[in-house]
Amino acid sequence: MAYFELQPAEADLQQLSEQYWQEASEREQQLETAAFEAGEAIRDGEYTLANLETIVRWKSERVVHYLIGNSNESIRTALAIAASPRSSTEDAVMALVGLRGVDISIASAILAAIHPELYAVLDYRALEALGHARHDVAFYAEYNAHCKRLAGYGIVQPKEGLPAPTALHALERALWQWSKSRQDWGAAELTTIKSGS
């Protein structure tokens, strides 16, 4: 179970919240305003790519182009589940991460835009403020040492002819693919559940 400990003083939170908006650029303010307007439209039944794009653009413009890889039907289905007050947090997130270009942090932003009273955005800065260390240099050094140990056991062999034919990069590819396969499996399971099979 995750442990959270508020880092800023409670007495500072209101001022920090106001400072956030004051220091945001005009563009950042426009993107956030548009995102919550799109969330309201989704809440009202407008389960469109345009509304989804508006919200995703607010949190990560660089992933917006992935959204076009989703069918209109899959977008409608995912947004309907996310917008339903009967959906659990888990069901809403699973429906959204089944869409191309949507990870858990983006899903949390979509949910927050649709139901701002129910959902918070999962953001590394907010996590840091709740006592979760950012992935810093020390974390990377530990991660890298662990991966090098695993690769050193010879459990994955490099493949000649591919970029960086090393055991370490072969391991990296294997770990990435495992995660992707789990995501694909979760999306397939959700489709099976939705279709009643």
- The residue ranking higher by pLDDT, 49 or 19, is 49
Reading phi first (left if > 0) and then psi (alpha if -120 to 50, else beta), residue 132 is in beta
pLDDT band for position 65 (cuts 50, 70, 90): very high
Cβ contacts of 161 within 8 Å, gap of 6 or more: none
Q: What is residue 37's predicted lDDT score, i.e. its pLDDT? A: 96
| Residues 27-49: tens digit of each pLDDT | 999 999 999 999 999 999 999 99
pLDDT per residue over 96-118, tens digit each?
999 999 999 899 999 999 999 99
Q: Identify the DSSP state of 92.
A: H
Mean pLDDT on 62-87: 97
Selected residue with higher pLDDT from 66 and 139: 66
Q: Which residue has the tokens 């979509």?
A: 110
Would you state the pLDDT for residue 136?
A: 67
Output the pLDDT for position 83. 98
pLDDT value at residue 192: 60
Domain ranges within the chain, ordered by starting residue: 10-130, 135-197
Q: For residue 60, how far is the Cα from the chain centroid?
A: 10
Q: Mean pLDDT across the stretch 162-186?
A: 78
Residue 190 binned pLDDT confidence (cut-offs 50, 70, 90): low
SS3 (DSSP) at 163: coil
Predicted model pTM: 0.75
